[in-house]
Amino acid sequence: MESKYKEQAKEILDIINQSKKICIITGAGISTASGIPDFRGENGIYKEKRDNVFDLEKFIENPEKFYSFGKNFFPILYSAEPNSSHYLLVKLEKTGKIDMIITQNIDNLHKKAGSKKLMEIHGSFTEFKCVKCDYKTEINKVFDKIVKGEVPYCKRCNGLLKPNIIFFGEKPDITKVNKAIKSASESDLCIIMGSSLTVQPVARIPEYALDNGAKLIIINKGNTYLDDYSFKKYDMETEKLAKELIRISEQKKFFVF
């Protein structure tokens, strides 16, 4: 492990030890190490899919096109495994310091790793919902169709099934958003991991933490609009830093996970 990760990890653990109520915000950058492409990065989905495959209106108009894409994309999500970033948060959650993990990710990796205090603002790919009657079903029941590129339909009303995630053109659940805002507003430390803070409403949530006087730590490859307001900014890979955070903390020199 490069020395810079060791130094930064110790610094972060010191800050965590001084904090009592932590709000975590995660984005696609924490899952790239698990083999999941992000949406806007150099190799992101929108780099290749300029027709906005996750646009609600276009999905309704042409679900066949979406599921033609989905037959390759959903198996990647389905088979992906959590990495050190996800497991770090599980361990940190057990200390009682985390109030909430707010994620933009739909990949289910936080749950797969074992996180409990989780708010999936954009939903999860593991659930599908009928656009007609709102009937919900789990991906396991439609996966065979998806991998064939076929369009799944509701067993109750034969309506079109869509993954229960927020498409462009949809608004997130306001109850989820308000709970996330409340967590940030009451935190004394807000840690952003793997998010460029460009997608609303999550992008604005750290501002509520700042308004409360909380320290802001940003761990992300690339710039965010809040870099100048952060207590510490680490322009580095979250997975490598998380691995070092776990390693050092388990030496019992800081807090015990």
Mind telling me the catalytic residues?
A: 122
From the centroid of its chain, how far is CA 139? 19
List Cα–Cα distances, 187 to 89, 230, 232, in angstroms. Answer: 16, 14, 16
Q: For residue 186, what is the enclosing H or E element?
A: helix 174-186
What 3-state DSSP class applies to 173? coil
- Dihedral-angle region of residue 169 (phi above 0 means left; psi in -120 to 50 means alpha; beta otherwise): left
Residue type at 62 in one-letter notation: N
Tokens, residue 117:
């205090």
Closest to 31 measured CA to CA, from 14, 46, 44? 44
Strand blocks (E) in 37-160: 98-103, 118-120, 123-130, 136-138
From the centroid of its chain, how far is CA 248? 24
Other Cβ atoms less than 10 A from the Cβ of 19: the count is: 19
Please state, in angstroms and rounded to a whole number, the distance separating the CA atoms of residues 170 and 192.
Answer: 24
Cα dihedral 13, 15, 16, 20 in deg (nearest 10):
160
Strand 215-219 to strand 189-193: parallel, antiparallel, or no bridges (unpaired)?
parallel
Other Cβ atoms less than 10 A from the Cβ of 141: the count is: 12
